[in-house]
Structure 1
Amino acid sequence: MKAFQRAIPALRPCHLGRGLQVQQGPHRHARLVHSSTTKAAVAHPVNVSGPPPKPPGSTASPLRKRFWKDVHVKEAAGGHQIYLDSRPVRTPEKKVLTVPSSKPHLAHAIALEWDLLKTAQHATKYHLIPMTSITGRAEDIAAEDAKGVTTIRDEITRVMLRYLETDTLLSWAPEKEPDYVGRSEEKRETLREKQIKAAQPIISTLVSTVWPGVELKPTLDANSIMPLPQPRQTIDVIRGWLSSLSPYDLAGVERAGIATKSLLVGARVVIEWSENFRHLRPSGASRTFGIEEAAHASSLEVRWQTENWGEVEDTHDVEREDLRRQLGSVILLVSGCSS
């Protein structure tokens, strides 16, 4: 240690002018090196039988606990409210969630969602409360309508018209399909033919009952990957239709359109099941366009790919069921007792 200290040159002051001095090098009382040797950890033998102790956990958060026991629906002025014991379910804006009187089935579906939650933290995950989230979205639109504000409506309209530019129902595969290895020699229906077959009835219904005189053109040419714009009149008519929808129907079109990547499929689901469009259905006629039909029309390309190349487990099957779940939530949202 002394030899090491002798090797260090003498510290000299550094003159900065006007009497200021800075001592160069370490402080004279500073310890320059550690003279003690390090000690390695000693692993003691385990003499206790049984499983190892559990690792220390964090303090339980209130969100990890379910603070309610019972969930029930109460009739209130203007509709139905869902209660967790004595606490009403509220929207993210802190407003008590009130479901219209014509939709008791929707209120009970929301109550069932909350009854199935294990912790309060699960209420922050939208995929566990799809009915609550979509109803809250509709109520937010209704609240803006009451104030004369159209922020949410304008945003939904903008997004839905963007989906129309590359609508799944109008984006057809090229006419000529490549020759894949292992394909059967017998002639079969091409993907483009399947897409046209599924799209025609939906388009026919929309242009005859909802948007009379509107022309819906295929987004892709027979051998092109560049989308073609819809006629200006078509866009203007659909924009006006979206702006005229009720809050619940607009929220339904938004969720169905995003889930299927198709404004046309979303519109078709809503007019088939909404209580506000019952005048478009013949009296006593059964509904012909539901969850399965909408899922089939919007996922033909995925089904065609899996038939040729196989299905990816925990991916294609999960997406297929999630699509049906979201379409089902739309039907519950827009339908009512009067429909």
Structure 2
Amino acid sequence: MEIRQLSRAIKATSSLSVRRPATTSYSRCLHTTSTREATPLPHPTVVAPPPSAPLASVTFPQNRVARKREQAERLQQGQQAKINPAKPTTALQKRFWKNVSVKEDEQGLHVLLDTRPVRTASKQPLLLPHSKRALATAIAVEWDQLVSAQQALKNHYIPLTSMISRVLDIEAADAKDDTTIRQAIVTMVMRYLGTDTLLCWAPENNDYDRAQEGKTPLRQKQRTVAEPIIAFLKTHVFPGVDILPILGEDSIMPTPQPQVTREVIKGWVSGLPAFELAALERGVLATKSLLLAVRLLVDWSPEFAHIRKDASKHERFGVAEAAHAATLEVMHQTDMWGEVEDTHDVEREDLRRQLGSVVLLTSVYLSAFRAALQAAVRDSSGCLHVMVYTILDSLTLVGSDVHPNFTQKTPHHSPSRPE
């Protein structure tokens, strides 16, 4: 009996030791909560057709001009508002001068705040040459538009004064044989030659141009505008050099200018006088083009009167032409897709304003001054009109002469200045 029981136990143990295949479960429980089905909500049956797509409101030029004039009036009212008496009043929140005038003596032209001269950031009196009468008047009106001394600390309120300060800094550095400022300007403007706006043309095969059948392609417009300017520069300003387009017909890789071209242009820029160098800097920053700034400078600066005499057959190149060449691609896109109000129009007028300051800084002819400012305010309104026409009213333009009272201490009153 014992032997039988022992054999049965051995068989049972051997049967348990047999390896059995493991079973794999393909279902796993992610959570232990009971499942609930979504209850769909009843949707109403829509019988009417879908609503029409929204349409842009039609605006007329007269309405836009009236709205901008209203905004300008509100801005003037805000500037004339009195300071809150609950806040502490400081000297910067007040206007410590009543009248702004231009006085001429043997040294040059002075812009006076009552009896005190306008000073630069380096605390030097602002002194202009005798030939810069229009520029001195523009600076006087610029200061007469300020309603507090605090605004004089911001460059965008006194852009012409900032440019003159730049000129005086360059002249002071040149007198000390310090080329730091001049070399910094030359290095900066030469960087724009590699990506010059005038030389960056659209591809020949443009899908957007194909969609606009019957219209002139963008590349053809760019070549039509750029080629006469390039030909003028190669003939009269940089004779004997090659100025190449940066982008090919079907390439996005820029083509560098020849080393000889870069050296000639760099030497020409390095030899500019202080007024012309500061004007060139402003023109390059405004147009993103060194060649456009050079073309505008040559056509208005008295330093290049001999070039204009040799190139008398060419048409004058002014603010409108430079702005058109600099914004040709933007105008092409806005003609295709539309203009963003208060964006494209503001940028266009700001560009004209900056180019007008280039002409005003370099030119000594009052007719040039008037043409530049009138181009800068074309189709605009508001405070800029007030400032510009105040300047024009203060000048009696007969040829190149000025009203006899201009050189005296004649105050320039601004309608936006509080009494």
TM-score (norm 1): 0.79
C-alpha distance in structure 2 between counterparts of 1:76 and 1:207, whole Å: 42
Aligned with 1:321: secondary structure? helix
- Other-structure match for 1:173: 202
Larger CA Rg, structure 1 vs 2: 2
Within the alignment, does 1:316 sit opposite 2:350 as a pair? no
Cα deviation, residue 143, structure 1: 0.8
Aligned with 1:126: secondary structure? coil
Return the structure number with greater strand share.
1
Aligned with 1:282: secondary structure? helix
C-alpha distance in structure 1 between counterparts of 2:275 and 2:346, whole Å: 27
List runs of 5+ in structure 1 lacking aligned partners. 1-53
Structure 1 residues 63, 213: closer, same or farther in 2, change over 3 A? same
Within the alignment, does 1:101 sit opposite 2:130 as a pair? yes
Within the alignment, does 1:241 sit opposite 2:268 as a pair? yes
Cα deviation, residue 201, structure 1: 1.2
Which deviates further from its counterpart, 116-125 or 270-279? 116-125
Within the alignment, does 1:132 sit opposite 2:181 as a pair? no
- Other-structure match for 2:330: 302
Cα deviation, residue 62, structure 1: 1.6
Corresponding residue to 1:112 among 137, 141, 164: 141
- Other-structure match for 2:241: 214
Aligned with 1:81: secondary structure? strand
C-alpha distance in structure 1 between counterparts of 2:160 and 2:343, whole Å: 23
User: RMSD value over aligned CA atoms?
Assistant: 2.2
Deviations 1:16-44 (A, max 9, x none): xxxxxxxxxxxxxxxxxxxxxxxxxxxxx
List runs of 5+ in structure 2 lacking aligned partners. 1-82, 369-419
Residue pair 1:272, 1:287 contacting (<8 A) in 2 also: no
Deviations 1:212-236 (A, max 9, x none): 1111111111122222211000110
Letter in 2 for 1:256: G
Structure 1 residues 287, 72: closer, same or farther in 2, change over 3 A? farther
C-alpha distance in structure 2 between counterparts of 1:224 and 1:82, whole Å: 53
Cα deviation, residue 337, structure 1: 4.6
Cα deviation, residue 58, structure 1: 2.5
Letter in 2 for 1:247: A
- Other-structure match for 1:11: none
C-alpha distance in structure 2 between counterparts of 1:223 and 1:77, whole Å: 60
Corresponding residue to 1:251 among 278, 286, 306: 278
Aligned with 1:112: secondary structure? helix
Letter in 2 for 1:234: T
Which protein has greater RCO, CA pairs closer than 8 Å, 6+ apart? 2
C-alpha distance in structure 2 between counterparts of 1:115 and 1:259, whole Å: 26
Within the alignment, does 1:327 sit opposite 2:327 as a pair? no
Cα deviation, residue 185, structure 1: 3.4
Residue pair 1:103, 1:336 contacting (<8 A) in 2 also: yes
Letter in 2 for 1:192: R
The equivalences for 1:75-90 within 5 A come to: 75-90=104-119
